[in-house]
């Protein structure tokens, strides 16, 4: 695969095996400190650290079952960690009541693995769903059409507004799902395997969309992926999750040049 490379220079330098240093030019929008989570004897997170800076694209890679989804669930308050500190946009997740957590979630877009569209709803209804759920944020919207259209135009699919998900290809579904996360104008977008199951050309289109969304809205993105090419093109910084910790951190070029066997394993084709 050969994605169009137009890589921005990294904004932050980090050192392997170390929690990234605070960078005073950039604000942290997500902070995980020493997070642990076990299921019985299965110790999934063993002191995991992560910082997402405002406006950056951070890629988290880890092999299947390493705890990436567990980490994201802890992050949005769907799962409680056993110990550690988790802060999103200055708020410590464990201290929030339901309503405050819900408000905070409306600022976080979550692109689920697959696309998770509601099959019985049209594209338009799928996009209206989060607007109804987070009415507090948008206020009463009398005519949803302009917002729905704006979100769909961002992904080049305005013409699909009245179609059912069944009538869309896999790549189109993924783009509609992305439009659905955009409708609330989130400050942070969490992508779980945004390119998995897509052919290389469609994957490239999705990556380009992610980049253009970041440029247009200045969103901060946490991207979970197995796709090394996706990581190369989109990441300004990467974190490798190995053995429950942030085993390695750095730019794509720093990490892909590493001779550490556990790091090398990620970049072998
Ligand atoms: N609710 C749960 N109860 C018990 N064990 C769980 C639960 N959720 C996750 N696990 C375990 O935690 C570990 C990490 O799971 P997780 O889903 O985070 O992996 P992942 O890194 O997202 O993998 P993949 O790349 O396949 O999506 C796995 O061993 C899984 O079985
Ligand atoms: Mg997962």
Report which ligand 1 atom has the smallest distance to the Cα of 71.
18
Average pLDDT over residues 237-263: 95
pTM of the model: 0.85
Query: So what CATH class is 26-106+226-269?
Result: alpha beta
pLDDT value, residue 91 = 94
- pLDDT classification of 21: cutoffs 50, 70, 90: very low
Q: Please report, for the chain, the start and end positions of each structural domain, with discontinuous segments joined by +.
A: 26-106+226-269
- pLDDT classification of 19: cutoffs 50, 70, 90: very low
The verdict on the CB of residue 42 being under 6 Å from ligand 1 is yes
Dump pLDDT digits (tens) for 35-50.
999 999 999 999 999 9
The verdict on the CB of residue 124 being under 6 Å from ligand 1 is no
Q: What percent of the chain has pLDDT over 70?
A: 89
Average pLDDT over residues 93-100: 91
Reduce the secondary structure of 220-263 to three states and give it as a string.
Answer: EEEEECCCHHHHHHHCCEEEEEECCEEEEEECHHHHHCCCCHHH
The verdict on the CB of residue 67 being under 6 Å from ligand 1 is yes
Please tell me the number of the ligand nearest to residue 241's CA: 1
Average pLDDT over residues 127-153: 83
């Amino acid at each position: 695969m050969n994605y169009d490379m137009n890589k921005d220079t990294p904004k932050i330098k980090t050192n392997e095996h170390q929690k990234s240093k605070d960078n005073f030019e950039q604000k942290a929008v997500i902070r995980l400190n020493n997070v642990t989570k076990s299921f019985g004897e299965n110790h999934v997170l063993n002191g995991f650290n992560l910082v997402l800076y405002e406006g950056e694209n951070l890629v988290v890679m880890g092999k299947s079952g390493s705890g990436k989804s567990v980490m994201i669930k802890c992050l949005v308050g769907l799962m409680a960690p056993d110990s550690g500190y988790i802060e999103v946009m200055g708020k410590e997740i464990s201290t929030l009541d339901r309503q405050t957590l819900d408000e905070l979630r409306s600022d976080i877009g979550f692109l689920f693995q697959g696309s998770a569209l509601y099959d019985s709803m049209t594209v338009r209804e799928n996009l209206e769903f989060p607007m109804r759920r987070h009415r507090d944020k948008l206020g009463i919207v009398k005519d949803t059409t302009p917002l729905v259209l704006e979100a769909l135009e961002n992904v080049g699919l305005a013409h699909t507004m009245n179609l059912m998900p069944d009538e869309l290809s896999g790549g189109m579904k993924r783009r509609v799902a992305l439009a659905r996360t955009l409708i609330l104008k989130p400050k942070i977008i969490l992508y779980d395997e945004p390119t998995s199951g897509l052919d290389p050309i469609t994957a490239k289109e999705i990556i380009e969309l992610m980049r253009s969304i970041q440029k247009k809205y200045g969103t901060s993105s946490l991207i979970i992926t197995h796709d090394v090419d996706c990581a190369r093109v989109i990441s300004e910084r990467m974190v490798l999750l190995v053995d429950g910790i942030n085993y390695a951190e750095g730019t794509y070029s720093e990490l892909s040049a590493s001779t550490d066997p556990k790091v090398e394993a990620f970049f072998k084709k």
